Amino acid sequence: MTIEKTKTGKQRWLDEMYGPAVKKHPERKNRFSTLSDELIEPLYTADDLEGFDTDRDLGFPGEFPYTRGVQPSMYRGRLWTMRQFAGFGSAEDTNERFRYLLKHGVDGLSVAFDMPTLMGRDSDDPLSRGEVGREGVAVDTLHDMEILFDRIPLDRVTTSMTINGPASIVWAMYLAAAEKRGIPLDRLGGTIQNDALKEYIAQREWIVPVKPAMGLVVDTFRYGSREVPRWNTISISGYHIREAGATALQELAFTLIDGLEYVKWGVAAGLDVNDFVPHLSFFFDVHNDFFEEIAKFRAARRIWAREIERRYHPRNERALLMRTHAQTAGVSLTAQQPYNNVVRVTLQALAAVLGGTQSLHTNSLDETYALPTEEAVTLALRTQQVIAHESGVADTIDPLAGSYYVESLTQRMERGFERYLGEIEKMGGMVEAVERGYPQREITEASFHFQQQVDEGEKIVVGINKYATSEEAPIPTLAIDPQVEQKQITRLAETRKTRDRGRWNESIDALRNAAKRGDELMPRFVECARANASVGEQVLVLKEVFGEYHDPGYF
């Protein structure tokens, strides 16, 4: 059937069938739109895919433009990595949780650090009061890092570390811990998040201003491709952008434009696209709107491949692959009727798998209250295992390809991306856009708009603005030992007292001098780690040389 015929046919159906039907029984809503408020038609047909070319726009799995997946065999070969983010209390507490997770079938570790560590402050810093070990694990020095990974085979598991501002410092501690155990750096695999741009855009865990932060990131690219070849030196993250209130399109666009900005900076610093770009990985949120999310993942792969090819023509094809981690949307969880969260997480996880993610974290039902209990984490992991082994969705590759609706959403994402790219390129790139507060304002607008839609009942949240109940039985939650803060402060004081003062001094001075001269910093951070310098001490040096950043407070 030609497109013309489909168009005429659809119009006839709308006039003769659909029109009269909704006249008799009106539609449920005045307006149907995705979670991101993109309008949805009652029916999608071939004419919604005008200009769509299967060879050019889909291709085959493992082949350009990778819409159907980055690996040729996808989940028929190997399932996605089930990677549960964990960290709380002391290094001992988290080490125990890691070993529990490994016993129950996770394939990779993922470290959640506490707020002071994320902000590059030591546990005894006045601003750390009340936050040590609360939202993640406290790591001040190499000593904590060694306890955190005690009895964990660093050459066999891969470790993802959610750390940004002080990413190089914390990564250097991990490398130093491996070195002390005699594990060569080229045997280590994992990821540091290290995505500076999204800190200013959304997550707000910065330490220095935008431009020097970009310099620190490029420094890890250089060191990583040379010394730790199995490591992903960045995880360019849409997750936090989405959680801060962005739409699916904004998440996709800002994340990929961040990615292009990192590549631009790497190239400007003299790095070879073929060496460092294959080490860039991505991290997306997976929210409630099932098809929109699937389209987002498929579009992201296609856009990345096309943009990198168009700009750099890399000879290493791996530079074109958008490999991604995904996490279900924390922001979609509700405190009310918390067991409903299990269902939300299941649908979101299913969307991530149908979207072709390389690894996945599923949130726990109790996370609007506190960090998850062991039971809640186990259920979240089992959710992935049921999808993987029982649902059958992992048995064929990209099963939704060719769906008029999904392909049309995928195309719409790509066009939306182009509009944002145009805007941001006009400003001179993402660094300039961030300095002007452009993505920050776009996200704030979107989050306010969504909250209004919820308040007006235009968007339904089950258990909140519909089907709410008044009396609810409390669920068990994880309590953090209030002694953790004091114990951690004592341990840090002990380390400061017993470390080799001379070596510490030298390592800190060498770091300061290298930062001032613009020399490579990673080797200096590794030496600081060996000398038991704390995260906060090293961050102070960076702030002294590069300055600080303060929230402009857009709202």
Partner 1 sequence: MKRPIRVVVAKAGLDGHDRGAKVVARALRDAGMEVIYTGVHQTPEQVVETALQEDADAIGLSLLSGAHNYIFPRVSELMKEKGLDDVLLFGGGIIPEADWPALSKVGVERVFPPGASLEEITTYVREAVPRKRGAAA
Matching residue, tokens 């904590």: 144
Q: Is 422 in the site for partner 1 (CB under 8 A)?
A: no
According to CB under 8 A, which one of 65, 190, 224, 245 is a site residue for partner 1? 245
The distance of closest approach from Cβ of residue 407 to partner 1 in the complex, given in angstroms and rounded to an integer, is: 32
Q: Is 237 in the site for partner 1 (CB under 8 A)?
A: no
Task: Give 117 or 359: the residue with its C-beta nearer to partner 1.
Answer: 117
Q: Is 452 in the site for partner 1 (CB under 8 A)?
A: yes
Residues 6+ apart with CB under 8 A from 1: 9, 46
Q: Is 331 in the site for partner 1 (CB under 8 A)?
A: yes
Task: Give 139 or 308: the residue with its C-beta nearer to partner 1.
Answer: 139
Residues 98 and 417 sit within 8 Å (Cβ to Cβ)? no
Task: Give 452 or 498: the residue with its C-beta nearer to partner 1.
Answer: 452
The distance of closest approach from Cβ of residue 118 to partner 1 in the complex, given in angstroms and rounded to an integer, is: 7
Task: Give 67 or 123: the residue with its C-beta nearer to partner 1.
Answer: 123
What residues does 360 pair with on adjacent strands? 82, 326
Kindly state the helix (H) or strand (E) to which residue 191 belongs, with its residue range.
strand 189-192
According to CB under 8 A, which one of 129, 181, 187, 419 is a site residue for partner 1? 129
Q: Considering only CA atoms, which of 453, 445, 423, 438 is closest in space to residue 37?
A: 453
Q: Is 481 in the site for partner 1 (CB under 8 A)?
A: no
Task: Give 175 or 480: the residue with its C-beta nearer to partner 1.
Answer: 480
Task: Give 450 or 504: the residue with its C-beta nearer to partner 1.
Answer: 450
Task: Give 149 or 369: the residue with its C-beta nearer to partner 1.
Answer: 369
Longest dimension (CA), the chain: 86
The distance of closest approach from Cβ of residue 458 to partner 1 in the complex, given in angstroms and rounded to an integer, is: 13
Q: Considering only CA atoms, which of 162, 166, 139, 484 is closest in space to residue 330?
A: 162
Question: 504-523: which residues touch partner 1 (CB under 8 A)?
Answer: none
Q: Is 451 in the site for partner 1 (CB under 8 A)?
A: yes
The distance of closest approach from Cβ of residue 208 to partner 1 in the complex, given in angstroms and rounded to an integer, is: 14
Q: Given the rule CB under 8 A, which of 102-110, 131-139, 262-270, 402-410 is the region that contacts partner 1? A: 131-139
Q: Considering only CA atoms, which of 79, 56, 78, 51 is closest in space to residue 67?
A: 56
According to CB under 8 A, which one of 385, 453, 477, 495 is a site residue for partner 1? 477
Kindly state the helix (H) or strand (E) to which residue 161 belongs, with its residue range.
strand 158-162
Q: Given the rule CB under 8 A, which of 43-51, 66-74, 209-217, 333-341 is the region that contacts partner 1? A: 333-341
Task: Give 202 or 326: the residue with its C-beta nearer to partner 1.
Answer: 202
What residues does 162 pair with on adjacent strands? 112
Residues 248 and 284 sit within 8 Å (Cβ to Cβ)? no
According to CB under 8 A, which one of 6, 45, 71, 334 is a site residue for partner 1? 334
Question: 533-552: which residues touch partner 1 (CB under 8 A)?
Answer: 550-552
Q: Is 453 in the site for partner 1 (CB under 8 A)?
A: no
Kindly state the helix (H) or strand (E) to which residue 189 belongs, with its residue range.
strand 189-192
According to CB under 8 A, which one of 40, 46, 370, 393 is a site residue for partner 1? 370
Task: Give 119 or 308: the residue with its C-beta nearer to partner 1.
Answer: 119
Reading phi first (left if > 0) and then psi (alpha if -120 to 50, else beta), residue 141 is in beta
Between the alpha carbon of residue 542 and those of residues 509, 512, 538, the distances in Å are 12, 7, 7
Kindly state the helix (H) or strand (E) to which residue 147 belongs, with its residue range.
helix 142-148
Q: Given the rule CB under 8 A, which of 89-97, 148-156, 198-206, 314-322 is the region that contacts partner 1? A: 198-206
Q: Is 130 in the site for partner 1 (CB under 8 A)?
A: yes
Task: Give 81 or 440: the residue with its C-beta nearer to partner 1.
Answer: 440
Per-residue three-class SS string for 307-340 = HHHHHHCCCCHHHHCCCEEEEECHHHCCCCCCCH
> Residue 28 burial (CB < 10 Å; 0-12/13-18/19+)?
exposed
According to CB under 8 A, which one of 58, 74, 118, 400 is a site residue for partner 1? 118
Q: How far apart are CA 266 and CA 255, in angstroms?
A: 17
Q: How many residues line the site for partner 1 (CB under 8 A)? A: 45
Q: Considering only CA atoms, which of 102, 222, 109 is closest in space to residue 158?
A: 109
Helix count and strand count (H, E) for the chain: 22, 9
Q: How far apart are CA 272 and CA 270, in angstroms?
A: 7
Kindly state the helix (H) or strand (E) to which residue 231 belongs, with its residue range.
strand 231-232
According to CB under 8 A, which one of 26, 270, 390, 555 is a site residue for partner 1? 555
Strand order in the sheet with 280-286: 231-232, 189-192, 158-162, 108-112, 81-86, 359-361, 324-328, 280-286, 234-237
Q: Is 475 in the site for partner 1 (CB under 8 A)?
A: no
Q: Is 444 in the site for partner 1 (CB under 8 A)?
A: yes
Q: How far apart are CA 438 and CA 450, in angstroms?
A: 19
Q: Given the rule CB under 8 A, which of 57-65, 137-145, 227-235, 240-248 is the region that contacts partner 1? A: 240-248
Q: Is 76 in the site for partner 1 (CB under 8 A)?
A: no
What residues does 190 pair with on adjacent strands? 159, 231
According to CB under 8 A, which one of 97, 134, 287, 301 is a site residue for partner 1? 134
- Binding residues (CB under 8 A) for partner 1: these are 115-116, 118-119, 121, 126-131, 134-135, 203-205, 243-245, 331, 334-336, 368-370, 444, 447-448, 451-452, 454-455, 461, 464-465, 474, 477, 480, 550-555
